[in-house]
């Protein structure tokens, strides 16, 4: 038998052991971090009200910095690099000094346990220093996307009640200057927020206004050695609040804890990457998406590895990806799905311009990776493992994945992977009854992992129960649609809200994955529209560069889809698709436009001007 099948057996055995005795499984994993006081109890109560590592005391910044000093002071903790390939190296000793300085200033501003601090920055070392400084003081960190509208950000600042905001004067992306401080001035001028102090990281620039609330970090930063005692925090205290991507509706504020969440993330990455001490790990994500902090704050420094922070857009130049990999000898990449599509659309140059022989694994997260993109990666970087992990802001521990860190298992294109030790998925029908393999249904969880979020401002758990636990009795509902194959691999076919009822129920991914294998098409989204009392399928497609739209092309695509068993009534060509800030297609917007319905909350839409563009293309 193939070694990979033995690998799969090993994973399933570990999964079964974790399911049989979660206390034992998670007690062992708690050893991944250093506790000031070990927990009295591993799990108390039942999801969604359960507590993890009860009465355990720890500090995240101690785990990420202090504990490495004796042996790794000179090791590079992070490289920072931008689109122009200007770069900087930060050792663990540098990180220690900088985190302490940042913590000192935050403390002077009155930040303490129980407070929330908001961050608005590009991917720069200071984002890391301040994140860890917030944790050093035992406070709660909220990282926001650069580029949200003032209205959306003011809503979030009020929701998380931040009195202190740390911002960068500006950032750079895709060759453009982003004037972050000007934006903050406008926001605080026009909207009522709880913000009392704005700490500005100048980055060497002076071309911005300094107002009453502002403090320039470089002016107050202590010069000599400062040490701020890491505050001991109980495991269940909130470490961070994330807002969901807003793909299916208004973003929800989810909280993750200091103890359980960090243990879960470190467990997850041991199972996915099993990092080696000489690995260099680059996470290609915007700062506001959970992926950035998950890797750069809670795992890379906690494991004492070396990370790469990249400021900018990977598609700015076709050779950027391979140049960065070559420059730092990157061995592990964690990437959003949209970034992998960008590499494909940039062509071979994106992976062939530099020596990328150090690269061992690329992990996909965010959306199902379509088979076409996977094939392209296989063809052009055959020596690199393509891994997948399916998780969500509400449950930042993989639901399904390819745990290559445990054992090499077969990779199935189109699938998110198999059972992940420590979590459990089930596919159920409309009544919540588990379905047999190959039957499409709703993906639900039987979670027993410490990375299951609670909701912000939801003290008795009412909102969590209503939002996630009421649709299917006894299960957490993911909102996703899919099926399990005969080997137990999970296929995510799209969002349940987006399912198209055209005769049978069809997940958007089923149609889209076919369309994007057509040589003329770069990207596509499938949408259901009302037709004869049921639904018909409409495809919104972006032709590849140099391909012109025509009736002939539309007919060809329809024919192509018909050969795969999908009857599509209409193909509309557009220049780009509506995407969230995390790069996911916002199909609900397309659906609303096609059906002439209310467009709902589009606060996380990357570029709102696309709405008019789409209206025109759809003839609305």
Taking the complex as a whole, how short is the minimal distance between the CB of residue 393 and ligand ATP, in angstroms? 3
Q: Is 364 in the site for ligand ATP (CB under 6 A)?
A: yes
Contact yes or no for 58/36 (Cβ under 8 A): yes
- Taking the least distance from each CB to ligand ATP, the nearer of 183 and 334 is 334
Q: What are phi and psi of 42, to 5 degrees?
A: -80, -55
- Taking the least distance from each CB to ligand ATP, the nearer of 170 and 344 is 344
| Burial of 146 from C-beta contacts in 10 A (0-12 / 13-18 / 19+) | buried
Answer for which of 418, 508, 582, 603 binds ligand ATP (CB under 6 A) is 582
Taking the complex as a whole, how short is the minimal distance between the CB of residue 246 and ligand ATP, in angstroms? 4
- Taking the least distance from each CB to ligand ATP, the nearer of 272 and 568 is 272
Residue 504's contacts (CB-CB under 8 Å, 6 or more residues apart) are none
- Taking the least distance from each CB to ligand ATP, the nearer of 378 and 562 is 378
d(CA 93, CA 414): 43
- Taking the least distance from each CB to ligand ATP, the nearer of 313 and 477 is 477
Taking the complex as a whole, how short is the minimal distance between the CB of residue 289 and ligand ATP, in angstroms? 7
d(CA 428, CA 34): 39
Answer for which of 389, 409, 426, 516 binds ligand ATP (CB under 6 A) is 389
Taking the complex as a whole, how short is the minimal distance between the CB of residue 407 and ligand ATP, in angstroms? 19
Q: Which helix (H) or strand (E) holds 441?
A: strand 441-445
Taking the complex as a whole, how short is the minimal distance between the CB of residue 490 and ligand ATP, in angstroms? 9
**Number of residues in contact with ligand ATP under rule CB under 6 A:** 26
Q: Is 365 in the site for ligand ATP (CB under 6 A)?
A: yes
Q: Is 390 in the site for ligand ATP (CB under 6 A)?
A: yes
Answer for which of 367, 408, 498, 512 binds ligand ATP (CB under 6 A) is 367
d(CA 582, CA 314): 14
Taking the complex as a whole, how short is the minimal distance between the CB of residue 510 and ligand ATP, in angstroms? 13
- Taking the least distance from each CB to ligand ATP, the nearer of 24 and 446 is 446
Taking the complex as a whole, how short is the minimal distance between the CB of residue 101 and ligand ATP, in angstroms? 32
d(CA 86, CA 249): 39
User: x/- contact string, 241-280, with ligand ATP (CB under 6 A)?
Assistant: ---xxxxxx-x-----------------------------
Tokens of residue 475, six digits: 């299960």
Contact yes or no for 111/117 (Cβ under 8 A): yes
Answer for which of 154, 338, 478, 513 binds ligand ATP (CB under 6 A) is 478
**Whole-number Cα distances in Å, 47 to 39, 50, 51, 449, 459:** 19, 5, 8, 9, 14
Contact yes or no for 322/353 (Cβ under 8 A): yes
Residue 373's contacts (CB-CB under 8 Å, 6 or more residues apart) are 337, 340, 341, 344, 516
Answer for which of 339, 393, 402, 418 binds ligand ATP (CB under 6 A) is 393
**Whole-number Cα distances in Å, 268 to 99, 263, 298, 388, 579:** 26, 9, 11, 12, 28
- Taking the least distance from each CB to ligand ATP, the nearer of 77 and 492 is 492
Q: Is 392 in the site for ligand ATP (CB under 6 A)?
A: yes
Answer for which of 584, 587, 593, 606 binds ligand ATP (CB under 6 A) is 584
Q: Is 416 in the site for ligand ATP (CB under 6 A)?
A: yes
Residue 319 region by backbone torsions, left for phi larger than 0, else alpha for psi between -120 and 50, else beta: alpha
- Taking the least distance from each CB to ligand ATP, the nearer of 53 and 242 is 242
Answer for which of 171, 230, 288, 366 binds ligand ATP (CB under 6 A) is 366
Contact yes or no for 433/474 (Cβ under 8 A): no
Q: Is 377 in the site for ligand ATP (CB under 6 A)?
A: no
DSSP code at position 37: B
Q: Is 466 in the site for ligand ATP (CB under 6 A)?
A: no
Q: What is the CA radius of gyration of the chain?
A: 24
Residue 521's contacts (CB-CB under 8 Å, 6 or more residues apart) are 515, 541, 542, 543, 544, 557
Contact yes or no for 120/154 (Cβ under 8 A): no
Binding segment toward ligand ATP, per CB under 6 A, in 1-9, 10-18, 387-395, 571-579: 387-395
Taking the complex as a whole, how short is the minimal distance between the CB of residue 117 and ligand ATP, in angstroms? 22
**Which residues here bind ligand ATP, judged by CB under 6 A?**
244-249, 251, 364-368, 388-393, 416, 478-480, 492, 495, 582, 584
């Amino acid at each position: 038998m193939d070694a990979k099948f033995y690998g799969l057996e090993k994973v399933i055995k570990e999964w079964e052991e974790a399911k049989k005795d979660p206390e034992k499984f998670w007690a062992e994993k708690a050893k991944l971090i250093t506790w000031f006081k070990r927990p009295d109890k591993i799990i108390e109560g039942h999801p969604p009200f359960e507590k993890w590592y009860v009465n355990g005391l720890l500090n995240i910044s101690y785990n990420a910095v202090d504990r490495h000093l004796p042996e790794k002071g000179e090791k590079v903790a992070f490289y920072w690099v931008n689109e122009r390939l200007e770069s900087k190296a930060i050792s663990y000793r540098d990180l220690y000094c900088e985190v302490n300085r940042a913590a000192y200033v935050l403390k002077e501003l009155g930040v303490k346990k129980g407070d929330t601090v908001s961050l608005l920055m590009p991917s720069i070392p200071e984002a890391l220093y301040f994140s860890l400084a917030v944790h050093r003081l035992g406070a709660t960190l909220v990282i926001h996307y650069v580029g949200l509208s003032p209205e959306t950000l003011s809503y979030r600042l009020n929701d998380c009640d931040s009195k202190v905001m740390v911002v960068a004067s500006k950032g750079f992306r895709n060759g453009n200057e982003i004037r972050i401080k000007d934006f903050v001035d406008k926001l605080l001028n026009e909207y009522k927020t709880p913000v009392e102090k704005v700490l500005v990281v100048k980055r060497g620039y002076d071309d911005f206004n300094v107002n009453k609330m502002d403090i320039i970090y470089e002016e107050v930063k202590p010069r000599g050695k400062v040490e701020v005692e890491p505050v001991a925090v109980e495991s269940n205290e909130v470490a961070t609040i994330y807002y969901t991507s807003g793909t299916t509706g208004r973003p929800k504020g989810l909280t993750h804890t200091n103890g359980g969440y960090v243990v879960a993330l470190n467990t997850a990455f041991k199972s996915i990457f099993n990092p080696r001490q000489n690995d260099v790990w680059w996470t290609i994500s915007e700062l506001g998406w959970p992926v950035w902090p998950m890797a750069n704050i809670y795992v890379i420094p906690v494991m004492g590895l070396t990370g790469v922070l990249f400021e900018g857009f990977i598609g700015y130049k076709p050779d950027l990806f391979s140049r960065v990999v070559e420059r730092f000898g990157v061995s592990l990449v964690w990437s959003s799905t949209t970034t992998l599509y960008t590499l494909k659309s940039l062509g071979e140059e994106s992976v062939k311009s530099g020596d990328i022989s150090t690269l061992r694994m690329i992990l996909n997260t965010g959306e199902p990776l379509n088979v076409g993109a996977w094939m392209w990666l296989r063809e052009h970087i055959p020596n690199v493992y393509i891994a997948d992990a399916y998780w969500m802001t509400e449950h930042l521990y993989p639901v399904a994945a390819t745990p290559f860190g445990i054992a090499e298992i077969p990779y199935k294109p189109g699938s998110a992977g198999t059972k992940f030790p420590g979590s459990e998925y089930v596919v159920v029908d409309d009544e919540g009854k588990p379905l047999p393999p190959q039957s499409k249904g709703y993906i639900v969880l039987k979670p027993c992992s410490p990375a299951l979020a609670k909701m912000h401002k939801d003290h008795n758990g009412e909102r969590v129960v209503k939002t996630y636990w009421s649709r299917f009795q006894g299960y957490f509902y993911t909102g996703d649609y899919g099926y399990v194959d005969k080997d137990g691999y999970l296929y995510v076919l799209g969002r349940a809200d987006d399912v198209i009822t055209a005769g049978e129920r069809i997940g958007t991914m089923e149609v889209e994955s076919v369309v994007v294998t057509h040589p003329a098409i770069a990207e596509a989204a499938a949408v259901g529209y009302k037709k004869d009392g049921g639904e018909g399928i409409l495809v919104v497609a972006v032709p590849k560069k140099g391909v012109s739209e025509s009736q002939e092309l539309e007919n060809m695509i329809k024919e192509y889809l018909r050969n795969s068993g999908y009857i599509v009534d209409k193909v509309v060509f557009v220049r780009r698709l509506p995407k969230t800030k995390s790069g996911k297609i916002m199909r609900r917007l397309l659906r609303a436009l096609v059906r002439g319905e209310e467009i709902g909350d589009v606060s996380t839409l990357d570029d709102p001007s696309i709405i008019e563009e789409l209206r025109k293309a759809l003839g609305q």
